Structure 1
Amino acid sequence: MKNPFVSLVLAAGLLMAGSAFAQTAPQNDQLYKAFGEKAGLVALMDDFMERLLADPRTGPHFKPANQQRVKEQLVDQLCSLSGGPCVYKGADMKSSHANLEIKKSDFHALVEVLQQSMDAKGIPFRRQNEMLALLAPMNRDIITPPETAAKP
Structure 2
Amino acid sequence: MNIVKFSLLCLVLASCIACSTSNTALGNNTNSAPTESLYVEMGQQAALDKIVDNLINIIGQDEIIFSHFADSNVSHFRKKLTLFLCQISDGPCQYNGDSMQDIHRGMQINTNQFNHFVELFIAAMDASGIAYPTQNKLLARLAPLRKNIIKI
- Read off the aligned partner of 2:72 and give its amino acid letter: A
Residues 95-119 of structure 1: per-residue CA shift (max 9 Å, x gap): 2212111111111111000100111
Match of 1:133 in 2: 140
Do 2:125 and 2:135's aligned partners in 1 also have CA atoms closer than 8 Å? Answer: yes
Question: RCO greater where, 1 or 2, for CA within 8 Å and sep 6 or more?
Answer: 1
**Count of paired positions:** 119
Q: Output aligned runs, 1:16-55, within 5 Å.
A: 29-55=36-62
Percent identical among aligned pairs is: 33
- Read off the aligned partner of 2:137 and give its amino acid letter: E
Match of 2:126 in 1: 119
**Which has a greater percent of helix?**
2
Match of 1:107 in 2: 114
Do 1:73 and 1:88's aligned partners in 2 also have CA atoms closer than 8 Å? Answer: yes
Q: What SS does structure 2 have at the residue aligned with 1:64?
A: coil
Q: What is the aligned-residue RMSD (CA, Å)?
A: 1.5
Structure 1: distance between partners of 2:81 and 2:36 = 17
Match of 2:87 in 1: 80
Do 1:37 and 1:84's aligned partners in 2 also have CA atoms closer than 8 Å? Answer: yes
Structure 2: distance between partners of 1:131 and 1:112 = 14
Judged with a 3 Å threshold, the aligned counterparts in structure 2 of structure 1 residues 71 and 29 are, in CA distance, closer, same or farther, namely: farther
Q: What SS does structure 1 have at the residue aligned with 2:71?
A: coil
- Read off the aligned partner of 1:93 and give its amino acid letter: M
Structure 2: distance between partners of 1:90 and 1:28 = 29
Report the CA distance between 1:29 and its aligned residue.
4.9
Do 1:73 and 1:90's aligned partners in 2 also have CA atoms closer than 8 Å? Answer: yes
Report the CA distance between 1:30 and its aligned residue.
2.4
Structure 1: which 5+ runs fail to align? 1-26, 147-152
Structure 2: which 5+ runs fail to align? 1-33
- Read off the aligned partner of 2:132 and give its amino acid letter: F
Match of 1:95 in 2: 102
Do 1:53 and 1:59's aligned partners in 2 also have CA atoms closer than 8 Å? Answer: yes
